[in-house]
Amino acid sequence: MKSVTFGALIVLAVSTASSFALAQDVAAGKSSFNKCLACHAVGENAKNKVGPELNGLNGRKSGIAEGYSYSDANKNSGITWDEATFKEYIKDPKAKIPGTKMAFAGIKKESEVNDLWAFLAQFDKDGKIKP
């Protein structure tokens, strides 16, 4: 009986540690977003810059931010942004959407990509932080 209980505790400890390893840090994502600020904005007063504003990104179709002039590649990509698509894109934008005008080498570090997504995903289409 003791070995079964001990085994269950080991499984619980490993799964808890794995959950913490996958956790996303919104504050770290905000810091990472500083790399994006020259071209993008997010939040209640966000406006298009060199790149489109990023409010409500989760579930938004690519190429539809009002008032932004997208490349044909981006408009015709057929992408609807979600966590997996964003994470693939931000690692190498030109590989995900050949012909995009986004001139950014990408973010390769997995934890930073996760944190950046956590930061961006918290904003609704009006730039308010979701409850």
Residue 114 sits in which domain range? 25-121
> pTM of whole model > 0.75?
yes
**19-42 burial by CB neighbour count: b if 16+ within 10 A, else e?**
eeeeebbbebbbebbeebeeebbb
What pLDDT was estimated at residue 23?
67
By CB atoms closer than 10 A (0-12, 13-18, 19+), residue 129 is: exposed
Q: For residue 9, tell me if it sits in a domain.
A: no
Return d(Cα 79, Cα 36) in angstroms, integer.
20
- Taking CA 107 as the corner, what is the angle to CA 52 and CA 117, rounded to the nearest 5 degrees? 60
Per residue of the chain (131 residues), give pLDDT as tens: 554 444 443 444 444 433 344 468 999 999 999 999 999 999 999 999 999 999 999 999 999 999 999 999 999 999 999 999 999 999 999 999 999 999 999 999 999 999 999 999 999 999 999 99
What pLDDT was estimated at residue 2?
53
Residue 31 in tokens: 């810091």
What pLDDT was estimated at residue 24?
86
Q: For residue 16, tell me if it sits in a domain.
A: no
Identify the CATH number of the domain in which residue 62 sits. Answer: 1.10.760.10
Chain length of the chain: 131
- The count of C-alpha atoms lying within 13 angstroms of the C-alpha of 85, restricted to the half-sphere facing its C-beta, is 14
- Total domains, the chain: 1
> Nearest Cα to 117, choosing from 50, 52, 22, 45?
22
What pLDDT was estimated at residue 20?
40
Q: For residue 8, tell me if it sits in a domain.
A: no
What pLDDT was estimated at residue 87?
98
Question: For 1-131, where are the E strands, in sequence order?
Answer: none
Q: For residue 86, tell me if it sits in a domain.
A: yes
